[in-house]
Each structure stands twice: as C-alpha cells, then as structure tokens.
Amino acid sequence: MLQKEIIIHNNHGFHTRPAALFVKEAKNFISDITITSKGKTVNAKSLFKIQTLGLTKGTSILLTVSGIDEKNAIEHLTKIIQKL
C-alpha cells in the first residue's frame, strides 16, 4: 500500500471536469484507489463519491493505492491531480 498527501491547486477545486478525468485515469489501474479528505474516504474510481468530498482549492487529500500496479498508479494519478 502506498499513500501520498496532495494539495488541490486548481482554482475551481476538484469540480466535475477534472474529477471525471481523474476517475477515467484511475480506472486504468487494477489497484484499489481511495481518496481521503476531512476524515471521509471514498473510492477514487467513482465520480459521484469524489464529488461528495467537496474538494476546493487548498484542500489536502490523502491518495491511497493498494495492489499490483500501485507504484505506477500513485505516480500517474499524483501527476494528474497536480496538473489540474
């Protein structure tokens, strides 16, 4: 299991469009992927679940990846979040 703390830098937060892109990328990995924010953990492969977190600019999230492709997944998804 790998974990990485990431700060949301997008001026509009993790709204529908960037969240949908993230989910699309997350679904390419076999590993279980979750996002934790403010004590709530959700499946990172579910757009609806991610939207329930209300991720705004400056919010800290914990990305957790567990599985056979976890190293590639956490590196790729971290880059995706930082670009959004």
Amino acid 83: pLDDT:
87
pLDDT higher than threshold 90 for residue 35: yes
pTM over 0.75: yes
pLDDT higher than threshold 90 for residue 54: yes
Sorted by where each begins, the domain ranges of the chain are: 2-83
Q: Are 44 and 66 in contact (CB under 8 A)?
A: no
**Quick one: which H or E segment has residue 25?**
helix 16-26
pLDDT higher than threshold 90 for residue 40: yes
CATH match for 2-83 among 1.10.10.10, 3.30.465.10, 3.40.50.970, 3.30.1340.10: 3.30.1340.10
- For residues 34-63, average pLDDT: 96
Q: How far is CA 32 from CA 9, 36, 60, 83, in A?
A: 24, 13, 20, 22
Largest CA-CA distance found in the chain, in angstroms, rounded: 34
Q: Are 28 and 67 in contact (CB under 8 A)?
A: no
Residues with active-site annotation: 15
Backbone angles phi, psi at 53, to 5 degrees: -80, -20
